[in-house]
Structure 1
Amino acid sequence: MDVDLLNHLVENRRNPSRSSYDYLHLVDLRDALSRQLRHERGLWLDFGTIVSPYAALMPNATVETADLVSDAPEDLKPTYEFEIGEKCPAPDAHFDGLISTQVLEHVDTPANYLHEAHRMLRPGGRIVLSTHGIWEDHPSPGDYHRWTTQGLRRLLEEAGFAVDEVVPITCGIRALSVLTLAYLRPLPWNSDSRTFRARMKILDYASLAVNSLLSLRQSDRFGTEGAIEGHSRLYVDVVVRGHKPR
């Protein structure tokens, strides 16, 4: 993967096409993260990526990256590299904040990952983390976990964090539309066939129409932790803000 392609993928995550099946999810995630990050300062770590897709949301902070050792070219290497089962080489109590977006579901031992995040934060340091509630299986190479709001809160508290806020995002009918479009996306036809191309074009138009319509419905964007009725019971993602106690 070259730098231009990676930058294109990062830009598409922050500003997705309205015809994308996951458009509603990506814009809700971006805006939820922006609300948590836009006033942050100091030194932050994006833990689990070679390029931080949401660093632009925190213009007053310095963002470093950490990820597993890979064969990526030198100009795509993260700030810190480590092998599976090893600690990140960043020092103890080094960062003012840590961001983790759509990583935790791919970690086979989430408790170890969060204890490592806790180690690298200074006392009082903030963590902003997002991961999936309900979502399709997407191994890359592994996809191990999904969470409820209460389950994710407990996981962070057991790792030593004080949890300040847990927000389910892309809820209710927005969640149903994203999951339905995700279900329709894999098609059984040969990619060279006229039928395949026609079906893909129809799906793009359907996605554009659904996403445009539901973009007008703001009430299902963000939910309430622990709701026992209403749209907050169904959500495709969870965003958590917490801190390391002093």
Structure 2
Amino acid sequence: MQYHTHRANPPFWRHDAYSLRKLSGAIAKCIRQAKQLGNLQAGSVIVDMGCGDAPYKRMLTESGAKYIGCDISPGLHTDVLLADGGVVPLDAGSVGCVTSFQVLEHIWDIDAYLGECRRLLSDDGLLILSTHGSWLYHPHPTDFRRWTLDGLQRELSSRGFSVISTWSIVGPLAWTTQFRTLGYHNLLGYLGWPGKLFSALFCLFMYLRMSLEDHITPESIRRNNASTYLVLARVAS
């Protein structure tokens, strides 16, 4: 099935299409594994902590799970508007899955954020979380951190989670090309519609280049030098 939000299934000529499509593909694999573990089924509850425009909502709810989007800003998919402290008005242990997509780097108080994720989850609950390894500064509204894979796993294990699986998304050859693509796209945007047309063609070419660069990058290099990491974890026993 195709997902037609601008982040889950962007056109190939979009400036960040390669990174977004690789992340979306990894999330699809992660969701399949979560379902194999008996999660995300009809009747279960998913809380998306920092939902934004909820690009992966359809993926998460295919099997009939209930989705609750939480964010600090109102929006079309925001069911719960988080006040200071980020406490979700649900009982402890009442949620089967908590998701967090590209949010953790924007959080200052990680203890409070991950602690709330842990509080919400049932004993057999799952956490699906992605965040950046290497990426440009992008405040929404803040931007505080980047992680190594080892560091991210340690952050989670020290806060009551046990990591099941990890995905390292976009290796160093491709993400350096991605950074240049973003820069040229922004520059060409100042040239009106001719610049936008050229940018689309340029971004499409760079998409193909990134695909090749990732293909020739050994997994042993990509694993610990990715632009984005995705983790599937459970509540530690």
User: TM-score when scaled to structure 1?
Assistant: 0.82
Question: Unaligned regions of 5+ residues in structure 2, if any?
Answer: none
**Which residue number in structure 1 is paired with residue 175 of structure 2?**
175
Pairs within 5 Å for 1:1-246:
11-38=5-32, 39=35, 40-41=40-41, 42-58=44-60, 59-60=62-63, 61-68=65-72, 70=73, 72=75, 76=76, 78-187=78-187, 191=190, 195-215=191-211, 219=215, 227=220, 230-246=221-237
3-state DSSP of counterpart to 1:204: helix
Q: Deviations over 1:202-246 (max 9, x none)?
A: 23211111213544666369x85xx4xx34343210001100134
Q: Quick one: percent identity of the two aligned structures? A: 25
* TM-score, scaled to structure 2: 0.84
Task: Quote the RMSD (CA, aligned, Å).
Answer: 2.5
C-alpha separation between the residues in 1 aligned to 2:49 and 2:20?
19
The verdict on how the C-alpha distance between 1:112 and 1:57 changes in structure 2, with shifts beyond 3 A counting, is same
Show CA shifts across 1:158-186 (max 9, x none).
11101112221011322222122123233
The amino acid that maps onto 1:238 is Y
CA offsets 1:118-142 (integer angstroms, 9 cap, x no match): 0000001000100111111111211
Deviation of 1:77 after TM superposition, in Å, equals: 6.0
- 1:102 Cα offset (Å): 0.6
Q: How many residues align?
A: 225
Counterpart of 1:175 in 2: which secondary structure? helix
Large movers: runs of 4+ above 4 Å? none
Contact 1:129–1:241 (CA under 8 A) maintained in structure 2 = yes
Q: 1:199 to 1:78 in 2, by over 3 A?
A: closer
